Structure 1
Amino acid sequence: MSGITTESVRGVGSLFRDLDADDEESQTTQMESMCMNCHENGTTRLLLSRIPFFREVILSSFHCDHCHWSDTEVQSAGRIQDQGVRYSVRVASRRDLDREVVRSDSAAVRIPELDFEVPAFTQKGSLSTVEGLLDRAVAALEQDQAARRDACPDVAARIEQFVARLRRLKAAQDPFTLVVEDVSGNSFVENPAAPQRDDAMTSMRDEVLVFPTNCPECNAPASTRMKLVQIPHFKEVVIMATNCDACGHRTNEVKSGGATEPLGTRITLRVTCAADVSRDVLKSETCRVLIPELEFELGMAMLGGKFTTLEGLLADVRDVVAAKNPFLCGDSGGAATTADRAAKLRRFAEQLDLIAAGGMVVHVVLDDPAGNSYVQNVYAPDPDPEMTVEKYERSHEQNEELGLNDMKTEGYEEERGEEEPSE
């Protein structure tokens, strides 16, 4: 069962479906398997399901008709994530107790108020609720209590007191904090207010916000997804992506999650091989891109904000300059007056391809007066010998372009008091 992944069934869109209580039988797969309790044959049921705002999971349930032993388990249908995740939920009402929780076997569950923890890899993965997690903890603690009362009455008494505190939490009598931490990144706590923000929950791998919009191409209803991402050794950025199912149009944009920096930033990278074009690049919407060897400059208004690799940025530049240029297509492409220009643009596109392949040594400059652009330092935290980062004072013209000359961020109360007429 562990070999079933989303990668192995790519292209089969109907394999993972939303849960449907009226069509449960058609969604499950049944097979005979040996009972690990009595070694007779039992029945295992598999359900491939999609959890909203999370990902696909595999639910398995086993039952033996001979010894009546049963077991359930949940596994992620995807790979181990690039980052772990930690959910912290403030549970203060019955609604919070009903939150669904996907807990993989690598997840640890903690209740700080009780100094209580279920360590990772001590239980199988489960799909439950917050109340279900408390029930499972109570059942585990109450197991073998009869034997403890005879052998260690003091220990049994302390466990009974602790179980009583857990029951108070289950009855929503005392608010508490539930922490689910998973190094594999495959655990999940439901947000009942989705797609809006959940004020009672924080996540180190922040949730993706989804809000309705219209496609800029065909005006059909579409969805835009937005997420706050921390770039190592830089700052937080907001990544937004829109995908239209009607016409297939896709677009993405990146905006800085912070304020305009006091100084502008000029990043110069010497590209010497194919490994350099694999560096991560954040180009804000206020950033210019220059390649001095090609006498090329891309203005700040072009391409918008992007978080990609240098190779991806060069590909976008190539599309803007060559592939989508009106001088290279239609009647304009064959006009005598534009033939020389079209040839130059084609040669420029070939040079960009050569740079992307590591066959041409050039300098790529990202000049951002707002200071919100970034190129990955592969030697971090040590200095990068192939890259220089300069900070500079913005000119009056640059401040004017950024709208900073007329921006006022202090002294409102004083001005308001002066403008109010006296009685």
Structure 2
Amino acid sequence: MSNEELFPAIGSLAQKTDDLAGAHTGDARPAADEDEERAVQEIESLCMSCEKQGVTRLLLTSIPYFHEVIVMSFRCEHCGFSNNEIQSAGVIRPEGTMYTARILARADLDRQIVKSETCTVVVPELELTIPPSRGQLTTVEGLVRNVVTDLSAEQPLRRIQDEATYAKIQTIVDKLKEILADDDEEEEEVHVAGPVKSKSAVDKDAPMPAFTLKLDDPTGNSFIEFVGSTADPKWNLRTYRRTKEKNVALGLVAVDEPTATEGGAEEAENIGGGLEGENEEIYVFPGTCSSCGHPLNTYMKKVVIPYFKDILIMSTNCDRCGYRDNEVKSGAAISEQGRRITLKVEDREDLSRDILKSETCGLSIPDIDLELHAGTLGGRFTTLEGILDQVYEELSEKVFAHGDSTVAVDGKSRNTFESFLKSLKEVKNAERPFTLILDDPLANSYLQNLYAPDPDPNMEIVAYDRTWDQNEDLGLNDMKVEGYEEDAIKDAKADVAAS
């Protein structure tokens, strides 16, 4: 049996259900052969609440632009216990996924969500993190309602036992209710007076605070719906390599013997396996987290980039609060000239080029009027696709942090920024050719040459003399590396004479 027959699309399942219902309107029971055509399969299962027999319903279906899933629903007619869950029918993907959606209007609350049992949901504006739990097939609105229900369950008891915790949780609940725009009084009147009305229909025009929804799934089996196409400016997907800890948690690799060094060392320790000067050498510097003050280690590694120069990569990661920081420094002398690198990007293969952007380097893409000044994003050693993803995330967080879609941001309307972000997304997905320019007055930036050691036909590298203003900004005009001893003696004599 083909995969399409086992996992038909949701639309075809709904159509089949409607056809069967219409064909047997008024009949006592459909025929046995038509029973086999039903999309939902029913299996008797033990109820874990009353230990009697309940019914589990299984629906095998596929999500458009995602993959196959199994939707399960259990209900016990004896005690009323029910449970719904979703499981992936595919394999664990090679990389984890991070979906980001900006929820700006009530229409965005209808976006479909597939949340696996390994997915972590984060709402940064509310400092809300939903840890991995059972899988769900729902919408953004349904997810928010579930959070409100779960957080409100024990609130009366918390109000008596721990008023401080009650106040913090209630603040989050109130903000979530502003998103839902539910009116408790109207809700009670609707239930008493007659048929239940849709809350979204009653309050669809109510103002809604904007927020960001992030789905972080190391298995890659979660999903949030985009509108129209993947060029949706409110939607973004980023993939990442799983850490060893996440692979251990998923059961993909075995737990090795601990190799970490004891904390509290006063001196930097070499934990690499090579000799001094080799690429495998890693140094550890004990310190404290600038966010929570917890002790942590900063790792530093010297990397030799072929056909370029040595660089130093430093990484800091706090296990307690999650603070992370990465920085790249040049390990060579200051160049006498600056360097300008121009690359014509034509396909996705160019996006895999390694790129070293130092903190003194400016980045620009004239095709979409993008220009990043020196110091933006700091020093980064990644791929071209990675740095464009980072630029997109930084800009989208800045733009969508505001509420009304007509509010001006940095002198431009929201619609203008959304159009720009759409162009940026096309660029970072290589859906259109573009030109990338790296301008570094210290020549500490690098872009991989795929044809090295031969010249790259799509890349142009120009060396230029720095201006006096550039040297002044970099502090080079006052730098003196020869004959500084005489100046020190003169300054000391001047201080003595003055005293």
Q: TM-score, normalised by structure 1?
A: 0.53
Residues 1:209 and 1:14: Cα distance change in structure 2 (over 3 Å)? farther
SS at 1:275's partner residue?
helix
Aligned to 1:411: 483
Identical columns (%): 41
Give the residue type in structure 2 aligned to 1:196: E
Partner of 1:241: 315
| 2:434 paired residue among 355, 359, 362 | 362
Superposed, 1:106-117 pairs within 5 Å as none
**Equivalent runs, 1:50-199 vs 2, <5 Å:** 50-52=258-260, 195-197=268-270
Residues 234-273 of structure 1 show CA distances to partners (whole Å, capped at 9, x for unaligned) of: 1111101111111212221111111221000000000100
Report the alpha carbon displacement of residue 295 of structure 1 after superposing the two structures with TM: 1.8
- In 1, the alpha carbon distance for the partners of 2:366 and 2:246 equals 46
Q: 1:254 aligns to what?
A: 328
Partner of 2:257: 49
How far residue 205 of structure 1 moved from its aligned partner, in angstroms, is 2.9
Aligned to 1:372: 444
What does residue 55 of structure 2 align with?
A: none
For residue 307 of structure 1, the aligned residue among 381, 396, 405 is 381
Which of residues 331, 340, 346 in structure 1 aligns to 2:418? 346
The 5-angstrom pairing of residues 251-330 of structure 1 reads 251-322=325-396, 324-325=397-398, 327-330=399-402
The residue type equivalent to 2:475 in the other structure is: G
Structure 1 equivalent of residue 249 of structure 2: 11
Shift of the 244–418 alpha-carbon distance from structure 1 to 2, 3 Å rule, reads closer
Q: Return the offset for 1:213.
A: 2.4
Which amino acid in structure 1 is aligned with residue 305 of structure 2?
Answer: I
CA deviations on 1:185-218 (whole Å, 9 max, x unpaired) are xxxxxxx9974359x9536234211122232333
| Cα contact 2:312–2:329 (8 A) shared by 1 | yes
Quick check: 350-359 or 202-211, which moved more? 202-211
**Any idea what SS the aligned residue of 2:413 has?**
helix
CA distance in 2, matches of 1:219, 1:346: 38
User: Any conservation in 1 of the 2:314–2:326 contact (CA below 8 Å)?
Assistant: yes
Write the distance in 2 (CA, Å) between the matches of 1:246 and 1:408. Answer: 44
Cα offsets for 1:103-159 (capped at 9, x unmatched): xxxxxxxxxxxxxxxxxxxxxxxxxxxxxxxxxxxxxxxxxxxxxxxxxxxxxxxxx
Displacement of 1:341: 2.4
Q: 1:395 offset after TM fit, Å?
A: 0.8
Q: 1:413 to 1:195 in 2, by over 3 A?
A: closer
Q: Does 2:463 align with 1:385?
A: no
1:158-177, Cα deviation, whole Å (9 max, x unpaired): xxxxxxxxxxxxxxxxxxxx
Can you list the C-alpha shifts for 1:47-70, whole angstroms capped at 9, x where unaligned? x423336xxxxxxxxxxxxxxxxx
Contact 2:353 2:383 (8 Å CA) reproduced: yes
One-letter code aligned to 2:289: C
The Cα of 1:409 is off from its aligned counterpart by 1.1
Contact 1:16 1:50 in 2 (8 A): no
CA distance in 2, matches of 1:253, 1:8: 23
Alignment of 1:12-31 (within 5 A): none
1:147 counterpart residue number = none
CA distance, structure 2, for counterparts of residue 236 and residue 282 of structure 1: 11
Partner of 2:223: none
Contact 2:338 2:441 in 1 (8 A): yes
Q: What RMSD in Å do the two structures reach over aligned CA positions?
A: 3.2
Question: 1: distance between equivalents of 2:390 and 2:408?
Answer: 27
Match of 1:202, SS state, is: coil
* CA 413–312 in structure 1, closer or farther in 2 if over 3 Å, else same: same
TM-score for both structures, normalised by structure 2: 0.45
1:337 deviates by 4.0
Q: Equivalent residue of 1:282, what SS?
A: strand
Once the 2 structures are TM-superposed, how far is the Cα of residue 353 of structure 1 from its aligned partner? 1.8
* In 2, Cα distance between equivalents of 1:219 and 1:193: 17
The residue number in structure 1 matching 2:471 is 399
What's 2:17 paired with? none
Structure 2: state its 5+ residue gaps: 1-243
Q: In 1, distance between residues paired with 2:275 and 2:266?
A: 11
Contact kept, 8 Å, 1:321 with 1:345, in 2: the verdict is no
> How many residues in Structure 1 have an aligned counterpart in Structure 2?
247
Q: Tell me how far apart the structure 1 counterparts of residues 386 and 275 of structure 2 sit (CA, whole Å).
A: 35
Q: Does 2:284 align with 1:210?
A: yes
1:263 touches 1:393 (CA, 8 Å); kept in 2? Answer: yes
> 1: distance between equivalents of 2:339 and 2:247?
45
User: How far apart are the structure 1 equivalents of 2:275 and 2:408?
Assistant: 63
**CA deviation string 1:302-327 (max 9, x = no partner):** 100000000011111112222x20x4
C-alpha separation between the residues in 2 aligned to 1:52 and 1:314? 34
**Residue deviations 1:71-122, cap 9 Å, x none?**
xxxxxxxxxxxxxxxxxxxxxxxxxxxxxxxxxxxxxxxxxxxxxxxxxxxx
AA matched with 1:11: A
Shift of 1:328: 1.8
CA pair 295-206 structure 1, distance change in 2 beyond 3 A? same
**Structure 1 residues 366 and 15, CA, compared in 2 at 3 Å: closer, same or farther?**
closer
